[in-house]
Amino acid sequence: YLDDLLKTNQESEQKIIRQMQDIQAAVSKDKGNEINALDHLRMMAHILRMLFNRQVPLRELSSMTRSFNANENEESQKQLVSPPLRVSIHIRRADACMANGKLVKEASPLDSSAQQFALRICYATSVYMDALQRLKDIHKRDPTRRIEVFVSSDDASSLMDEIRDQFSDLYKSMTWRIHDIDRERFNYKGFVEGYDHKNHNLLGEAAAADLWLLSNGEVFIGHLGSRFGKVAYLLATARHNRFIPFFSVDGHSVCCEIDEPCGEMKPYITSMSDCLTFSHDLVQGRGHVLNKDYFEVGSYMRKIVAQALPENESLYVEVTEGEEREGEESETIHK
């Protein structure tokens, strides 16, 4: 199961990169017509959106949302000129909390350590609500729009009860939407992909529906050190066709791989191609080997590759049709 899942992920990743390369090659034929940073981001987002082709069952599941405070706030919204400001919040829990079992009470900075596998961190609900409060304070400049919040979480407890009881001012001042599903399905053992439970189909459906729910957001609050969070962010970018402001609680930006120390790798991100398409999996076996202490510190492959390149050359990795990657063991330890 895991081998098939990994193969599918790799094939999808390579397909997206090949499509971006085709578009970039076509544009480059017209001299002087360069793609700017925002268009790079939107191109990646729209390709992903086309691949995220919802079939009928998923469209039906996506419509099953539960609203909180909708009636009270929508009545007052009718008196306003502008539509509500839509905010997406991804609150990561379940198997992501295996590092120490505790909820961290502060967001991680850009220079924090990588969060791979069992080193991932879960954050207290207050961390997300602090970001939402900051947004509300900024949003006071535009009193013509209320805030509508779209929530995704794999928390098995009643998250909305917690928000209502502990953050009552935020709760009452906004409309909240979350999928109306049995939260008990998130109460499983081990990793979500593992064999310790039999909820794979239900969890997969809920995840796909939540990704579409989060795509409503014009602002994103959550995890960009998460593949799920990154897909949600890119779907929102495609849906609104513009840059989506974000509050990333885990110290990662759009450009960082999920399992690398973002701040340390920042100097080696020299282009939007490096930002959006670099993957240490894709360069492994091409004369570069992953640092041996990966499971303790995360991937330093971006730095390893950059230091091996001639000056001013990009980390851009070309992927050709049918290419296979070698799973070579590492002998390199970063310094």
pLDDT at 22 over 60: yes
Q: How far is Cα 123 from Cα 278, in angstroms, rounded to an integer?
A: 27
pLDDT at 322 over 60: no
The position carrying tokens 């609680």 is 249
Q: How far is Cα 130 from Cα 141, in angstroms, rounded to an integer?
A: 18
Number of neighbours of residue 111 by Cβ within 10 angstroms:
11
Query: Which residues make Cβ contacts (< 8 Å) with residue 333, sequence separation at least 6?
Result: 291, 292, 293
> 175 versus 59: which is more confidently predicted?
175
Number of neighbours of residue 150 by Cβ within 10 angstroms:
25
Predicted pLDDT of residue 324: 42
> 331 versus 291: which is more confidently predicted?
291
The average pLDDT across 233-239 equals 95
| % the chain with pLDDT above 90 | 30
Residue 31 confidence class, pLDDT cut points 50, 70, 90: low
Residue 330 confidence class, pLDDT cut points 50, 70, 90: very low
pLDDT at 2 over 90: no
Query: Which residues make Cβ contacts (< 8 Å) with residue 31, sequence separation at least 6?
Result: none
Predicted pLDDT of residue 328: 37
pLDDT at 332 over 50: no
For residue 304, which of 29, 296, 294 has the smallest C-alpha distance?
Answer: 294
Pick from 32-36, 116-120, 203-207, 266-270: least confident: 32-36
Residue 57 confidence class, pLDDT cut points 50, 70, 90: low
The average pLDDT across 63-79 equals 61
Predicted pLDDT of residue 238: 95
pLDDT at 244 over 90: yes
For residue 215, which of 64, 86, 51 has the smallest C-alpha distance?
Answer: 86
> 59 versus 319: which is more confidently predicted?
59
> 320 versus 227: which is more confidently predicted?
227
Residue 7 confidence class, pLDDT cut points 50, 70, 90: low
**What are the tens digits of pLDDT across the range 256-283?**
998 899 999 999 998 888 888 888 877 7
Torsion angle, alpha carbons of 67, 69, 74, 80, to 10: -130
| % the chain with pLDDT above 70 | 66
Q: How far is Cα 128 from Cα 35, in angstroms, rounded to an integer?
A: 34
Residue 131 confidence class, pLDDT cut points 50, 70, 90: very high
pLDDT at 46 over 60: yes
pLDDT at 165 over 50: yes
Query: Which residues make Cβ contacts (< 8 Å) with residue 335, sequence separation at least 6?
Result: none
**What are the tens digits of pLDDT across the range 181-221?**
665 666 666 666 666 656 666 777 778 888 999 999 999 99
Predicted pLDDT of residue 274: 84
Which of 71-80, 88-97, 263-272, 304-313 is most confident? 263-272
Predicted pLDDT of residue 331: 34
